[in-house]
Structures are given as C-alpha cells and as structure tokens.
Amino acid sequence: MRWTTFAATPRFYALTGYLIPGFWAVAALLGLAGLGLGLGLAPSDFQQGNVYRIIFIHVPAAWMSMVIYVAMAFWATVGWAAKVRVASMLARALAPTGTLFTVITLWTGSLWGKPTWGTWWVWDAKLTSYFVLLLLYIGYLALTSTIEERRRSDGAGAIVALVGVVNIPIIYFAAVWWNSLHQGPSVPLNAAPKIATSMLTAMLLMTFSFWSYAFAVVFTRTRALVLEEESHTEWVQSLRARRPSMNRH
C-alpha cells in the first residue's frame, strides 16, 4: 500500500470515519488528565503563584496554532502543485481549527499578561507576530472562500499559506532575538525543560489532547467538504442512498 492510497476521496472518507471516534475519546481522556494534573496536582510557581496555570491551555494552544499553520501550508501546496484534491480539502479544513487555537493563545496570553505585566496587551515582537499569524489565518480563510473557481482558490490559498510560513520561526524565537516582555520558551529545542516534571507532564498531556481534538475536528470537516464537492459522484449518491439521514445535512 502506497502513501497515496488514501488520496482517493472514498478511501479517505472511509478511513477517517473509523478514526474520528477514537480521536475524540483520546482528546477527552488526555484533556481530563492534563487539566487534573495541571490545575490540581502541579505545584504553584514561586514567582507567579497560581496565575501561571494558564500555561496548561496557553502553551499547548500556541504550539498547535504554529504546527497547524505549517501543516495547512504543506497540504495546500501539495494539493495545488500535485492536484491532489484531498490535500487541498485538508488545508481548508485545518484553517478554522488553527484560527481557533490562535485566538485561544492570544486570549489566554492576555489573561496571563494583566496580572503579570499589568496590561492586557503590548506590541512587542512575540505578541505582534502572533497577531500576524491570526491575520494570516483569516486571510487564507477569506481568500479561499471568496474565489469560487476551486483551482484558482487552492492556488491563491497555497501562495498565502507558503508566504506566511516565514512568520513561524519569528514567533518561536521572538523572545530570544529581541528584547521582549514575553518570557523565553519553557521547553527549548536545544536544552532541558525549565519547568518541574509535573508541570511538563500536564502540558504534554494537554498538547496531545489538543492534537487528538484537531485530528477529530479536521477530519470531520474534511469529510463534509468531500461530500459537498463530490455530491454528484456515484459513490456519494450511493452513500446517501444507504444513509438517508445524510440528506438532511
């Protein structure tokens, strides 16, 4: 079986139908475990007290917003350059979820910033580059939904997504490259983590929970796009005939 096997929309639709319930279950279990450990068992921070516990939502959401953007750019490029329709659908399905995680990142960051910095927002490099990420997501969504001809829409979206990838390393290294109010990475790439083991464990549990949530939501949204764009095909019509409830959606 080649990696392109599930590029065929009927196979992709069937496979994701089996996977989605599992991803929802994993997301719920890991989320409960992560929140229980992070909010209940992890120690307070000696400088920030309990305010720091926002990081158990903030940091995983920040990681996800960046990873999803790179994945969106990758699949958008594959879909456009190689004319793989499922890849383009995946890119379009990733964008709303990436936007959601970016909004959560900015919102929880503001909640943390007020008691820590004394202000909800500052235009420093880290926060500004994250705001740019939100604009890139919104721009991609607006562009792909405005252009009706699908091939042109996929191409324009892929270009915007690719150009925006340059912002991802800027976000990650902003606190290192510039004099920023934002603290440096708690889990640096080239050194040991700077936080307690229980804090790191809770953060990783929440990250994997968000990963599973993203897979479940993105696959569900992609399946809806498949049914919408291939409603005229024989396999979709046959599927609707076997499942009359689908005709109400």
Per-residue pLDDT of the chain (249 residues; tens, 9 = 90+): 455 556 788 888 889 999 999 999 999 999 999 999 888 877 666 666 667 788 889 999 999 999 999 999 999 999 998 888 899 999 999 999 999 999 999 999 888 877 777 777 777 778 888 999 999 999 999 999 998 888 899 899 999 999 999 999 888 876 565 556 555 556 655 555 566 788 889 899 999 999 999 999 999 999 999 888 876 777 667 766 676 655 555
C-alpha neighbours within 13 Å on the C-beta side of residue 217: 18
Report the first-to-last Cα separation within the chain, whole angstroms: 33
CA distances from 23 to 32, 77, 218 (A): 14, 26, 11
Q: Which residues pair with 45 in a beta bridge?
A: 49
Reduced to 3 states (helix: H, G, I; strand: E, B; else coil), residue 219 is: helix
49 backbone dihedrals φ, ψ, rounded to 5°: 70, -135
Q: Please, which residues have CB within 8 angstroms of residue 168's CB and are 6 or more apart in sequence?
A: 66, 69, 70, 133
Q: What predicted TM-score, i.e. pTM, was given to this entire model?
A: 0.87
Q: Report DSSP letters for 119-165, one per residue.
A: SS----HHHHHHHHHHHHHHHHHHHHHH--SHHHHHHHHHHHHHHHT
Q: Characterize 21-43 residue by residue with b for buried, 16 or more Cβ atoms within 10 angstroms of its Cβ, and e for exposed.
A: eebbebbeebbebbbebbeeebe
Task: In whole angstroms, give the CA distance from residue 25 to residue 22.
Answer: 5
Cα 139 versus chain centre, distance? 16
Domain ranges of the chain: 11-248
Which tokens hold the place of 129?
């580059």
Q: Which residues pair with 49 in a beta bridge?
A: 45
Residue 1: what pLDDT? Answer: 46
Whether the Cβ atoms of residue 210 and residue 60 lie closer than 8 Å to each other: yes
CA distances from 172 to 66, 97, 133, 176, 235 (A): 9, 20, 12, 8, 44
